[in-house]
A and B are shown apart, each in its own frame.
Chain A
Amino acid sequence: MLSATIKGMLAHKLRLFLTATSIALGVAFLSGTLMLSSSMQAAFDDLFANVEGGSDTVVRAVSENDDQVAENERPPVPATLLDDVAAIDGVATAEGRVEGYALLTDSDGKPMMPNGAPTVGTNLSVDTGLRGDIAVRDGRVPRAPGEVAIDVTSAEEGDLPIGSSVRILFQGTDETFTVVGTVGFGDADNLGGSTTAFFDLATAQRLMGEEGVFDTIVVDADEGVAAEDLAATVGASLPEGFEALTGDAVADERAADVKEGLGFFTMLLLTLAGIALFVGSFIIWNTFSMQVAQRTRELALLRAIGATRRQVLRTILAEAVVLGVAASAIGVALGVGMARGLSALFEVFDFTMPPMTTAVEPGTVVVGLLAGTLTTVVAAVSPARRATRVLPVEALRDAAPTAHRFSRVRAGLGAVLTVGGVAGLLLALYGPAPAAFIAIGVVAAVIGITTLAPLFMRPLAAVIGWPLRGRGVAGELARQNAMRNPKRTASTAMALVIGLALVATVSVFAASLKASFSDVLDSSTNADLYVLTPTPQSPGFSPEVITTVREVDGVETVSPTAFGTGKFAGTTGEFTSVDPATVEAALDLGMVSGDPGSLTDDGVLVREDLATEHGWSVGDTVVGSFPGVRGAELEIQGVYDGRGFVNTAYAITGEAHTAFYPKRMEGTAVVIVEDGADVAVVKERIAEAIADRPDATVMDTEEFQGAMSSVIDQMVGLITVMLLLAVVIALLGIVNTLALAVFERTRELGLLRAVGMTRGQVRAMVRWESVVISTIGALLGAGLGIGLGLALVKAVADEGIEKIAVPGPQLAIYVLAAALAGVVAAVGPARRASNIDVLRAVVTD
């Protein structure tokens, strides 16, 4: 039975190829994502394990905040503790370590800013055992105040060979050093994409800490002493406020931070992969439906000679299982390439990837195979069930496959789902229903529309195909062919609808995001100019820049702001720090009560929704915890609406921010020029004044908006590229449907050729049918996408996206591109149709 199934499948190679490809691509995406994710996790695990591997025990201050925070954000460890630790039994060596912000500049003086990854400055341990996998590749370790060793990648990319001088920017100051060595991290040339500068301990303390204190003390154990035991022993001897952990535990902590970020990314990718599989399922459904229709006589014959319904069902499902397993296996194999492709794609979009080898874990293979096979089988269930309803008598009828009538149950179900879904969505957006209804509503509406799609396919094809009437008989026949089997047209078009709807959703969301950002800049700041970091991923610029800009001729006010996180009333929340002296002149916070100008260092402003949620009012106290300070009592001195430039949950003063995070940086400074001063001239002057501070840049409002737009465009670009895979699968579906239609209509095509239709006209006919289907998909998709996009914008309106924008021209281009893609999809089937042997088609027997 199984061999008969496989033989039957091989008989239709093109169909097999297209169907298998549509599953394999989805599975490849899925397993590629999983492989990439596990490879990256493994890479980060290795990386941090290598770096921390040298120290058996790490002594650090206890964080005053329960969240995991970096060592250099904690209170410092006094240097006096070092001798005590070194004296503990079992300790071989103990050294102090300091870590901080150190921005390298390349040989042209440009800052070397890895996207997202930190720019680390630290001291290189004297004891080689404490260095772990960190090793000097060339040159030597830094020993004197003017010496630095840098990571191999920075040395290469920044053109900073040994012996060259390099200017390094720290928080508040900058100095020039001589490169004396390059450093590698095990096999890697850099630490997870970051830049690293190594100094001697005294230099590191002077520039990134304080004399007499360290961030941590790292300890190497005596031979034969277990790290866990030593950590316990050391921990027991430490004074209150300090703790000792194993190096591995610290490495895990650091890796966990990175992994959390990765987790979000993995979820996004998995969602996109799921969409690709879902789109693929439409093609499976189509293939099996058409196959059942074509095999009606064969199935009826089987039934007539005594096969039970169950046996018929099993025949079809066996085919689905074979196809699913085979295609999924190919997909998993392709996944290795897909993982590399995704990695390369991220590099193109400026995401730094850690050096890694693609890890194929058994779990990934199992998940890929299961997901692909299940999708295939589930999609084949309804055609298989239809096959069981073939009556034995149909073996005797000479009927061409006809479209089945649309069942009332289906229509009712579709209508209920659509109406219910839209109602739920609207209730959640404009009414009292909880936000969860948005997602439920969207899913219900999409399924409902998919169910109903065959109902409105005929009128849609009629309308969209209307212009084809002017294109002669080929156009008109194409239009009629597209209307011929609404179910098939629907499932073919719906695959495209889903892909395009998501692309449209993303673009509507992005356009609204941009419009809202412009609106915020226009309405809630009085800025003439902004001082910013050159890229949004940079951690910030040195507070020293503010002082410099304030002294520039023509500058009236400079009001710095910065972001941070802390625990407020027990939950982690973001805050913006502002300068009370200048904030009122520079920013409109949208105060509901209180005024930001009189905010004190032990005060806090809270956003309106939080105030309402917690029942807070001015005069109440919120307890805030930060790495350096536990239980800071902050008096609520005002409430703001959070719809403007400052949209975080809390606002505190810059002084308070510095108290909580001594090593903090500035984020964005609002600059107002003096009355009568030429903004462009002042901008030039500021640019000159901060020319030697490459971590900061000056922009006018337009440039700021442009910079923000390009960041959004980059994200949108990345997501769109990945959604394109779903669109490609949908186009394969169109090829599949057309190829099957051409096969089914061999006789018709032969007749048309016999009575004088030219090959060109036949090709045009198939092409136009394809265009009608793809245009239906594109238009429905764009419409659905606009709806979803608006719903999404509305759903996150609280996050400050208040402006709604629909990028009409962009969407029009997508629809046009989809129609054109329809032309491309038709190339193969059209050629096949035009090459049909007239005689074979028209001669009976």
Chain B
Amino acid sequence: MSILTASVTRPAPPPAGSPAARAVGVTKEYGVGDARVLALDDVSVDIGAGRFTAIMGPSGSGKSTLLHVLAGLDRPSAGQISIGEVDITTLSDKQLTLLRRDRVGFIFQAFNLLPTLTAAENIALPARIAGRKPEAAWLQQVVGAVGLADRLSHRPAELSGGQQQRVAAARALATKPDIVFADEPTGALDKRSGEELLAFLQHAVRELAQTVVMVTHDPVAAAHADRVLFLSDGDIVDEMADPTSHEVLEYMKKLGA
């Protein structure tokens, strides 16, 4: 496994203690017998705290599956996954749900928001589910950064696609999670809206000390990350620190995507 090191120096990432998430020997298979599909094949990876990590790979490489098992949305067939110090593979459904609620944020490609709730209510949703009030100062900071202060009382139907995804991003960050997982967050957005969202995620990592893991197939999106993991046939085949979109694109071509 070759390590490509970037020549560009950037501001140092926050002090890296223990990783925000860790996968050790994770395997995920679907189906049985002839229909058996190996989506993840003995994957081990550390996701650094306070870093923006992108996962890339050709379709069918298992990148979404990796995100789902890391996030506790799906269970691996074998191996161990921890978020912070917690081994989530041993948790019950209920414990896993509470962990997602309190320590993990999510941004999906689409359908991130409840249509009956306003933007503000959607942002506060995880906290409300937990029966807590979101931390006001932090919330203000997030909402300010995402640039939606004047859109808070709107319902999703009254927001553009980009605005909806930014609301989703704010929702993901509202509980000050240990880690945010984003699954193709810009997949359904136009270029400008996508750029705004990525800028926000970058800002969240650099200025607000958050940890973000993002699955994408877009090299431009991946270039916003501090580190890119390349997946092929269910395993991490390479990674790249401080990537540029060009470098990522070139590498992807090599992978045959």
Which of A473, A756, A842 has most B Cβ within 10 Å? Answer: A756
- Interchain CA distance A839-B115 in the complex, whole Å: 19
Q: State whether the Cβ of B110 lies closer than 8 Å to any Cβ in chain A.
A: yes
The answer to whether B129 touches A757, judged by C-beta atoms less than 8 angstroms apart, is yes
Given the known interface contacts A481-B116, A758-B94, the answer about A751 and B129 at a Cβ–Cβ threshold of 8 Å is no
Contact with B along A478-513 (1 / 0, CB 8 A): 001100100000000000000000000000000000
The answer to whether A843 touches B183, judged by C-beta atoms less than 8 angstroms apart, is yes
Q: How many residues of A contact B (CB 8 A)?
A: 26
The answer to whether B129 touches A400, judged by C-beta atoms less than 8 angstroms apart, is no
The answer to whether A755 touches B131, judged by C-beta atoms less than 8 angstroms apart, is no
For B100, give the chain A residue with the smallest CB separation: A756
Q: State whether the Cβ of B176 lies closer than 8 Å to any Cβ in chain A.
A: no
Given the known interface contacts A755-B126, A844-B111, the answer about A477 and B116 at a Cβ–Cβ threshold of 8 Å is yes
Given the known interface contacts A755-B126, A761-B129, A839-B68, the answer about A748 and B115 at a Cβ–Cβ threshold of 8 Å is yes
Q: Which of A800-816 contact B (CB under 8 A)?
A: none
A56 to chain B, nearest CB (A): 81
The answer to whether B111 touches A756, judged by C-beta atoms less than 8 angstroms apart, is no
Which chain B residues border A754 with CB–CB below 8 Å? 73, 100, 106, 108
Given the known interface contacts A755-B125, A759-B93, the answer about A747 and B111 at a Cβ–Cβ threshold of 8 Å is yes
For A753, give the chain B residue with the smallest CB separation: B97
Q: Which of A827-845 contact B (CB under 8 A)?
A: 838-839, 842-844
The answer to whether A748 touches B129, judged by C-beta atoms less than 8 angstroms apart, is no
Q: How many residues of B contact A (CB 8 A)?
A: 34
Binding site secondary structure of chain A: helix
B232 to chain A, nearest CB (A): 20
The answer to whether A843 touches B115, judged by C-beta atoms less than 8 angstroms apart, is no
Given the known interface contacts A473-B125, A755-B129, A759-B94, the answer about A748 and B114 at a Cβ–Cβ threshold of 8 Å is yes
Given the known interface contacts A477-B114, A751-B114, the answer about A756 and B101 at a Cβ–Cβ threshold of 8 Å is yes
Given the known interface contacts A473-B129, A477-B116, the answer about A755 and B111 at a Cβ–Cβ threshold of 8 Å is no
- Interchain CA distance A751-B167 in the complex, whole Å: 14
Q: State whether the Cβ of B98 lies closer than 8 Å to any Cβ in chain A.
A: yes
Q: State whether the Cβ of A239 lies closer than 8 Å to any Cβ in chain B.
A: no
The answer to whether A842 touches B111, judged by C-beta atoms less than 8 angstroms apart, is yes
Contact with B along A460-486 (1 / 0, CB 8 A): 000000000000110011001100100
For B125, give the chain A residue with the smallest CB separation: A755
- Interchain CA distance A839-B106 in the complex, whole Å: 12
Given the known interface contacts A472-B128, A484-B116, the answer about A842 and B74 at a Cβ–Cβ threshold of 8 Å is no
Given the known interface contacts A759-B94, A759-B97, the answer about A844 and B108 at a Cβ–Cβ threshold of 8 Å is yes
- Interchain CA distance A812-B64 in the complex, whole Å: 54
Given the known interface contacts A758-B98, A759-B94, the answer about A752 and B129 at a Cβ–Cβ threshold of 8 Å is yes
- Interchain CA distance A843-B181 in the complex, whole Å: 13
- Interchain CA distance A839-B171 in the complex, whole Å: 19
- Interchain CA distance A842-B107 in the complex, whole Å: 10
The answer to whether A838 touches B102, judged by C-beta atoms less than 8 angstroms apart, is no
The answer to whether B100 touches A842, judged by C-beta atoms less than 8 angstroms apart, is no
The answer to whether B93 touches A839, judged by C-beta atoms less than 8 angstroms apart, is no
- Interchain CA distance A52-B114 in the complex, whole Å: 77
The answer to whether A756 touches B108, judged by C-beta atoms less than 8 angstroms apart, is no
Q: Which of B67-81 contact A (CB under 8 A)?
A: 68, 73-74
- Interchain CA distance A409-B171 in the complex, whole Å: 42
- Interchain CA distance A752-B93 in the complex, whole Å: 14
A394 to chain B, nearest CB (A): 17
Which chain A residues border B129 with CB–CB below 8 Å? 472-473, 752, 755-757, 761
- Interchain CA distance A682-B102 in the complex, whole Å: 80
Given the known interface contacts A400-B115, A477-B116, A756-B100, the answer about A842 and B128 at a Cβ–Cβ threshold of 8 Å is no
Q: State whether the Cβ of B165 lies closer than 8 Å to any Cβ in chain A.
A: no
Given the known interface contacts A472-B131, A844-B108, the answer about A838 and B73 at a Cβ–Cβ threshold of 8 Å is yes
Which chain A residues border B171 with CB–CB below 8 Å? 755
B209 to chain A, nearest CB (A): 21
Q: State whether the Cβ of B237 lies closer than 8 Å to any Cβ in chain A.
A: no
Q: State whether the Cβ of B112 lies closer than 8 Å to any Cβ in chain A.
A: yes
B191 to chain A, nearest CB (A): 19
- Interchain CA distance A843-B110 in the complex, whole Å: 8
A472 to chain B, nearest CB (A): 5
Residues of B bordering A, CB below 8 Å:
64, 68, 73-74, 93-94, 97-98, 100-102, 104, 106, 108-117, 125-126, 128-131, 171, 183-184, 187-188
Q: List 20 A-B contacts (CB under 8 A).
A: A472-B129, A472-B131, A477-B116, A747-B111, A751-B112, A751-B113, A752-B125, A754-B106, A755-B100, A755-B101, A755-B126, A756-B97, A756-B101, A759-B93, A839-B68, A839-B73, A842-B108, A842-B111, A844-B184, A844-B187
Residues of A bordering B, CB below 8 Å:
400, 472-473, 476-477, 480-481, 484, 747-748, 751-761, 838-839, 842-844
Instruction: Across the A-B interface, give the 3 residue pairs with the lowest CB-CB distance, nearest first.
Output: A756-B101, A473-B128, A480-B116
